[in-house]
Amino acid sequence: SDQVWREPYSISLPLFFFDFLNNPQKKRMSYAASFGRGDITEYSKTQKKQCKQLLKLFDIVTVREKEGVDICLNEFEVDAQQVLDPTMLLLSSDYAKLAEQGEFITRTTPFVFLYLLDPTREKLEIANSFARAKGLEVVSILPSSNKASKTYPHVFDVLSGFYKSEYVFSDSFHASVFSIIFEKQFYVYPNYKRGNSRLSSLLKMMNISDRMIEDGKVTVSSIDYTNVNTHLNELRHQSICILKKFLKTIQNAG
């Protein structure tokens, strides 16, 4: 999953289309593969041709974004289905067990969790201004971008930041995912550098597109997680059924 079909992020693009399988009868499936953007202009003509041939050998093609469905159809002439990112197949209770093992954040009072992959002065000011208006502190556990040596936090500590916080500000796809899983009020900065279609597609899928920060403005509305969770559970069921369908074809092939 994730941006395995985005050319600049891949060590060998055809590898993630199973070019190493010599037998065309071998079962093939992609789960929540992402192109990371709404087009494949980063592909060379040779790559596009090779990947198209390989993708036609797949038994089931699933992608993470709606734009990926369109790319598969328009560029590769292959039907694809949109599914949830695999992190969303688990329940909040599964992640809570891990988050509770985090040791970095010990505060018990409400706070704003800041998770920025690409921090800028503008992003920081928006989050800090929001926190000041709410009378809350801002907590960030990612290393500063100006540090020569970066030490990243343990995954338990990262999860605990989402789990314990009141609000989340991020420019990350998976930060948005865990904000949804833990039912947080969160806000997302556009991130065109890393692929903004990932973010917009996720928010649209959950019917919460207003969480995207546009022109520096933060929406005043709150997320109704009753509706979000109803939709999420339906999508989770559909995604798991697709996985089971593929596994059944393998079992039948014997």
Long-range CB pairs of 94-100, under 8 A, 24+ apart, other chains included:
95/159, 95/163, 95/178, 95/181, 95/182, 96/163, 96/182, 98/155, 98/156, 98/159, 99/156, 99/159, 99/160, 99/162, 99/163, 99/164, 99/182, 100/160, 100/163
Per-residue pLDDT of the chain (254 residues; tens, 9 = 90+): 899 999 999 889 999 999 999 999 999 999 999 999 999 999 999 999 999 999 999 999 999 999 999 999 999 999 999 999 999 999 999 999 999 999 999 988 999 999 999 999 999 999 999 999 999 999 998 887 655 567 889 999 999 999 999 999 999 999 999 999 999 999 999 988 887 888 999 999 999 999 999 989 898 899 999 999 999 999 999 999 999 999 998 888 76
Whole-model pTM: value is: 0.93
- Taking the C-alpha atoms of residue 203 and residue 188, their distance in angstroms, rounded to an integer, is 9
| pLDDT in the model for residue 149 | 60
Q: How far is CA 119 from the centre of its chain?
A: 18
